[in-house]
Structure 1
Amino acid sequence: MDYRKARTQAGFWLEYAALRAVVALLGLLGVDLASALMGRLWRWFARFNPRHLRAKRNLAFALPHLTAAERAAILSEMWENLGRTFAEGLLLPEIVRHPQRLTMSDRLVADIRATGAGGIVFCSLHQGNWELLTVCCAMVGKPVAGVYRQLKNPLAEAYFRSRRQTAYPAGLIAAGATSVLRLRSLARSGAAIAMMADLPDSTGIRAPFFGGPSSLSKLPVTLARHLGLPLVVAHCQRTGGAHFLVDGERLDLPRTDDPEADVAEGARRLHAIFETWIRDDPGQWMWATRKWSEAVLRGSATD
């Protein structure tokens, strides 16, 4: 008998059972109470997570003009938002059934509808509850397909996938060697290809972000540029509790005889928009990523 395999399988079942228990509890509380409870728990306890120190250093680097107290308040707000987002993600089907929690700006609605029946690249950042952006896109008649990373636990993977599919009517694509080809096919059929672009990307371009060199993702710009698709960039703002405003715009991309230069310039424009949105509401962005290298951060002042 393979005891290592048996132990792994037992671990998968325990994780799955715990996940189902948490979802059941949150479901009994309802979206509003579940979101508030998880937000408060994360606000209290996430500061003891090692990622808190990374977020603190990133914030001090990006917004050095703030006082230590101001940065501490932003980080507390960030953790509460992430806790709420976690709970809301587990209850995604319930939120999809009650779209009145979501308000879209007239500008974003107009830009999406202006694309007609053709496909688009729908791009965002980890701000507010980013998962709900796809719900809004589908609300105006544009089916959404998304890319995600599969979980190691096959039981949890199947469960999460079944619950997230309600927000991705055009399909969920597991990241892998064939994912780009599938995305191209879906885009050509008229779907919106949803992707996040604010995480560090070793395959991206090296350019300033908040004044410091960073690896900026170029994937959404590359896809839009090479397929001739519109690039719509949007973000989600939590306006109170589990209610949200979704805003955005179509980003015009350069189209010259140099595709590589066009993609690089498009990626810089995209991240300039991201930076503006983050500066406007820093407490709702996920600061705990490796957006800047250790070498860059060591050169900054941290209080």
Structure 2
Amino acid sequence: MQNLGIAITGSGSAIPKTSLDNQGIMNFVDTCDEWVTTRTGIRQRHLASCNDSLTQLASVSAKNAIAMAGITPQEIDLILLATSTPDDLFGSACQIQGRIGATRAVAFDLTAACSGFIFGMVTAAQYIRTGVFQNALLIGADILSRWVDWEDRRTCVLFGDGAGAIVLQSNQSDRLLSFELRSDGTQNDSLNLAYVPQCRNLTDNITVSTGNFQSISMNGKEVYKFAVQKVPEIIDKALFRANLTVEDIDWLLLHQANQRILDAVAQRLKVPEHKVISNLASYGNTSAASIPIALDEAIRQGKIQPNHVIAASGFGAGLTWGSVIFQWARG
């Protein structure tokens, strides 16, 4: 079977209406706007209310991306949902499939935390390259406010909620130029949302676990060191595979985790500030949603133009990290 190329033809995003700025956080945790802003670059974040759901946000972003691509939901063959916070622990992709009316699509969740969207792009690309599917919908969505300890100022100031999506289509001209993916489970303790078992005795001889998940736990210094070292390396490797150099990049699009990380990675790569996409100040760290939200915003603002080369990289819990080099194009 002939391998086919890939074009990324549509983008969309959805953000909860409720926002919480740094002044608001001061009402329930010992911090201040200056402390948060200087250490993270975040000024506010959007939070899902009790009436919001991941499925709802993801579906809105998906519909926006499908509309931009100029196709119908019935033409979607594959739906990948990159998330760590599904509404249903068995997965939420199928709920989205039903909600948007993508009746022909196979749908499943993919979990790689803040790297999930990059891992999802690569996964969707393999189905398209082999000719199995023609039109794929990739969604990155997370509601991390569900799993934040709102009394821990080291983490509660960082995270926000949201969803972003893209449509990838089979195309004779290949616009997904290269990728690199990595994982290192030995550093899992640096950032996790671990299960905490609570034992229950069913009988004298049988004990089962009936626990729950703890709040997000993070060693900020270790995550910073990991990101600043590994992300420039993996972008360099992906550029090498694409036979490109840093000078060929039109935009550097990183997971929106911390402005200091964005700045440090750009400096190591020698990417000028005007080429770095950042909306961290307005949304905080939205995990798997951060890259597609920033991508959609830049496209709709007219910053990203057809044939622009974008170096995107995600990094986070697992630990996982990866990079994709692609061109934005409608065909």
Q: TM-score, normalised by structure 2?
A: 0.31
Q: Which structure has the highest strand share of the two?
A: 2
With the length of structure 1 as denominator, give the TM-score of the two structures: 0.33
Task: Determine which structure has the larger helix proportion and give its number.
Answer: 1
